[in-house]
Amino acid sequence: MRDSLSDPIHYRSLSSVAESIRDGKISPVELTASLLSRIDSVDGQLMSYATVMAEQAMETAREAEQEILAGHYKGPLHGVPIAVKDLCFTAGTRTMGGLKVLREFVPSYDATVVRKLREAGSVILGKLNLTEGALSGYHRDFPIPVNPWGESLWAGVSSSGSGVATAAGLCFASLGTDTGGSIRYPAMANAVVGLKPTYGRVSRYGVLELAASLDHIGPMTRSVRDAAIVFETISGFDGSDSSSLRDSVPRISESLTDELTDIRIGVDEHYLSFGTNPALVDAIHEVIEVLRQLGAEIVALSMPKSDPMDLRNAWLPICAYEAHKAHSATYPSRADEYGGYFGDVLKMGASMSVEDYAKSTKLRKKISVTYESALEAVDAVICPSGGSVFPVEKEVQYGNMEKLRSVIQNFQGQFTIPADLAGTPTITVPCGFSDEGSPYAVQFLGNRLSESNLCRIAHAYEQATQWNQRHPTI
């Protein structure tokens, strides 16, 4: 593990602080107090937290410290301060999902992912802001997280708070969700690692739904090893989630290496460059050369040719129909409490018939089969992680479907939507910066259950380049 010990402690990796906690060099209580102080002093300008759970966090930190001193060390998350997206149920603490209709909702139980984090000894600092209902626009009653690399820059879609908090050193890891790109876009925009697992690897139980057949939960961190640690903790079968997979969870963090001699990485030059910022394309070509030097075999292949808007038009009806079902208790009975964009999507879902949904599902299967077939020839395919970060006005992000069109047209959905439709895993890692200091990111796409290979590739690249050691100045 390479970590800059000269960095302020809030920018050190989860893996690094975990070792220091285990060895008694860092106190979980002092570490938690330090991060809570940083949140208090910095997050007023970044707006990443919806709810800070300071008292609970300090109580958990004290318990963790006593357990560790007594020789009951639970593992690399024990005593480490993290945060979760405000879609995840937290018993006794409100879970709002960026929704006015849920401003006062307090769950009586923890989401499975939260329970697993607690059982691992994590210190949960709080709940992170997001778009309304985890779609593309924000509700006016909620703040918009601010990208720490530039206040005018887009911070990503629904897991924006998770991306901002992780990048700004306001937690050592966070949970995000991904229905159409919402782990990968904010990971790209904020220069952090985002792992979207295989659908069903991580339980959705106790996580507010956007679209049940598309929703994924995964870690956002400042290193690939850290993402692997969190993934190993939150994954596994859960009988409370009908989509949960029984496949065993690999011990990825223990098998990461710096070489890729037996790895085949697919490259479709037209796919990765069409409509992509040329400077980002150049950065990805540099990634390919690094991977080649690490021993990977670079294989030319052809990915399905899909226009981003065509893919969105296949994805959006499924999302709208399932979102309408998920919000049946409050929509349309409280329609006036929904914001413009999410309200428009729910209205679309309400207008759809079962036949309309079946038609979209048939198209989804066709896209997924073609996509997965292209992935079978290699261990991973390299591409952008949804495009490049761009400047955006706050007012536009509070808009309706028509107003948000100017934002959505920047989304390169050909790099995000297929993996959600097919339920296949991906990982996003930083791969450089523009001349103006905006982050660049690369994404590796893999077959079902290939998280181990994806993390291995991303880790080897990360160790060879150290882009993850560059942090924003707050």
Peptide bond into 332 cis (omega under 30): yes
Between strands 81-85 and 123-128, the pairing is parallel
- Among 15, 48, 85, 127, the active-site one is 85
Rounded CA separation 11/168 (Å): 8
Please choose, from the candidates 64, 69, 57, the residue with its C-alpha nearest in 3D space to the C-alpha of residue 124. 57
Q: Which DSSP category does 415 fall into?
A: G
Rounded CA separation 192/190 (Å): 6
Do 156 and 186 touch, CB atoms closer than 8 A?
yes
Q: Is 182 a catalytic residue?
A: yes
Do 256 and 366 touch, CB atoms closer than 8 A?
no
H, E, C per residue of 318-368? HHHHHHHHHCCCCCCCCHHHCCHHHHHHHHHHHHCCHHHHHHHHHHHHHHH
- Among 158, 162, 235, 450, the active-site one is 158
* DSSP secondary structure, 249-288, as one string: PP-GGGS--S--TT-EEEE-HHHHHTTS-HHHHHHHHHHH
- Residue 109 pairs in a beta bridge with none
Half-sphere exposure of 338 (CA within 13 A, CB side): 25
Please choose, from the candidates 367, 386, 379, 374, the residue with its C-alpha nearest in 3D space to the C-alpha of residue 272. 386
Q: How many CB atoms lie under 10 A from the CB of residue 44?
A: 9
In the β-sheet with 123-128, what is the strand arrangement from edge to edge? 49-52, 123-128, 81-85, 174-178, 216-221, 193-196, 426-433, 439-445, 380-384, 264-267, 297-300
Alpha helices in 142-217 (DSSP H): 160-167, 184-190
Q: What are phi and psi of 272, to 5 degrees?
A: -75, -20
Please choose, from the candidates 458, 280, 290, 297, the residue with its C-alpha nearest in 3D space to the C-alpha of residue 384. 280
Q: Which DSSP category does 383 fall into?
A: E
Rounded CA separation 90/113 (Å): 10
- Among 122, 162, 182, 385, the active-site one is 182
Rounded CA separation 160/295 (Å): 35
Tokens, residue 204: 């959705």
Residues classed as catalytic = 85, 158, 182
